[in-house]
C-alpha cells in the first residue's frame, strides 16, 4: 500500500476547510483515510493551520509521499517553531 499525506476537503460552500490526512494513494480525495494529521483553514486570519509533526515524521519514515501544498504547510510550521524558539532565547536573556 502506497501512503500519501494530502488534504481532504471539509466545510460548506464558500467556507473551505481541509484536513491533513494520511491515506492510501488510490482512495478518493474525500474517501477513507488512515489517520488525521491536522487541519488547514485558508480563509482564517492568523494561525490558520495545525499539524501533528511527530505523526507526519512517522509516516514519512514509513515512506509516505507528501503533496506539494502540505509540504508548504510543513515548511511554515518549521519556520514558526524556529522563530518561536529564537524569541524564547531572546526573551530569557533580557535583564528585565
As a whole number, mean pLDDT of residues 71-88 equals 86
For 60, the grid coordinates are 514519512
Helix axes 53-61, 68-92, angle to 10 degrees: 130
Domain 3-92 has CATH 3.30.1320.10: yes
Spacing of C-alpha 57 from chain mean position: 11
d(CA 22, CA 38): 10
What would the mean pLDDT of 48-73 be, rounded to a whole number? 95
Top pLDDT among 57 and 89 is at: 57
Long-range Cβ contact pairs of 10-13 (< 8 A, separation 24 or more): 11/41
Cell digits for 70? 502540505
Residue 45's φ and ψ, nearest 5 degrees, are -85, 155
pTM above 0.75, yes or no: yes
Considering only residues 82 and 75, tell me which one the structure prediction assigns the higher pLDDT.
75
In the predicted model, is pLDDT for residue 81 greater than 90? no
pLDDT over threshold 90, residue 46: no
Q: Domain ranges for the chain, please list them.
A: 3-92
Q: What is the mean pLDDT of residues 6-34?
A: 91
Amino acid at each position: 500500500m502506497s501512503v500519501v499525506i494530502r488534504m481532504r476537503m471539509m466545510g460548506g460552500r464558500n467556507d473551505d476547510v481541509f484536513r491533513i490526512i494520511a491515506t492510501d494513494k488510490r482512495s478518493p480525495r474525500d474517501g477513507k483515510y488512515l489517520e488525521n494529521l491536522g487541519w488547514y483553514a485558508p480563509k482564517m486570519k492568523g494561525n490558520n493551520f495545525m499539524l501533528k509533526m511527530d505523526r507526519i515524521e512517522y509516516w514519512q519514515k514509513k515512506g509516505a509521499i507528501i503533496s506539494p501544498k502540505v509540504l508548504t504547510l510543513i515548511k511554515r510550521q518549521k519556520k514558526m517553531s524556529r522563530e518561536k524558539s529564537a524569541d524564547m532565547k531572546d526573551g530569557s536573556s533580557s535583564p528585565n
